[in-house]
Structure 1
Amino acid sequence: MGNEPRLGSKVFYKIGEVSQVTKLPAYVLRFWESQFPFLNPKKSRGNQRLYVRRDIETVLEIKRMLYEEGHTLEGVKRYWARRGRISPQRVKPKELAQKLRGSLRAILKLLESN
């Protein structure tokens, strides 16, 4: 792709730099962090977001899915969930327990029906 954004050789990028590379406002990047638990840039001692190359690639893929392909936020969330990109440290224990309980009940019903 000829118009693909270029990244330098830096290890970490601040949110302003990511905003310029992705052509997205910083508030959109912060909002997406709240919507996609796997998009979780590190924070510096001064509490600045520090994105790595993989974070930026993820942002660009989310942007493509939303803006070019016309997916909804919920659709993109489902897509990433199917890809297994849910970060375990951001999953709430109560939610995880409820999901596991539901899965175990479904397995139990299958076993009981045989």
Structure 2
Amino acid sequence: MAEPTRKSDQAFRTIGELANELGVPQHILRYWETRFPQLKPLQRAGNRRYYRTADVALAHRIHRLLNADGYTIRGVQQLLAGGAADDAPTPSPATPTASAAAAGPAFPAQELRALRETLRAALDG
């Protein structure tokens, strides 16, 4: 059985391909387009979306910030609006930049649980 042909990293992606790549439903990508003006895929006839290489990289970055780094939508909006370069290291939510601090804390659940246990032990002891 022949293996499916893999697209070049420079090739445009459809919304379905990008959604599969990120592991999110297509409606999430459409929602992100409304929240992040930097994410602007080409739209052809019938509103068919084609994501360029830069759009794919931005979608991966947004996904990582929201799902792995624990940022809120507002926090990611402020990071992107602050002109943070795509290749710049992403600040840790535990040490937010001034623009991210305005969005409020965005700690991953594991860190919050550890902090809660530390506080509980301090109050009990």
SS in 2 for 1:50: strand
- The residue type paired with residue 41 of structure 1 is P
Map of 1:14 onto structure 2: 14
C-alpha distance in 2, partners of 1:84/1:55? 15
SS in 1 for 2:50: strand
Give 1:1-114 correspondences, 5 Å limit. 8-9=7-8, 11-83=11-83
How far 1:62 moved relative to its partner? Answer: 0.5
Root-mean-square deviation over aligned CA pairs:
1.8
- The residue type paired with residue 80 of structure 2 is W
SS in 2 for 1:24: coil
Q: What number of residue pairs does the alignment pair up?
A: 79
TM-score of the two chains, using structure 1 as the length reference: 0.64
How far 1:60 moved relative to its partner? Answer: 0.7
How far 1:84 moved relative to its partner? Answer: 6.7
Can you list the C-alpha shifts for 1:36-78, whole angstroms capped at 9, x where unaligned? 0110100112320010111111011001101111011111000
TM-score of the two chains, using structure 2 as the length reference: 0.58
- The residue type paired with residue 39 of structure 2 is L
- The residue type paired with residue 67 of structure 1 is N
C-alpha distance in 2, partners of 1:61/1:84? 11
> Which structure 1 residue ranges, 5 or more long, are not aligned?
1-6, 86-114
How far 1:8 moved relative to its partner? Answer: 2.3
C-alpha distance in 2, partners of 1:84/1:72? 16
**Same amino acid, percent of matched pairs:** 34
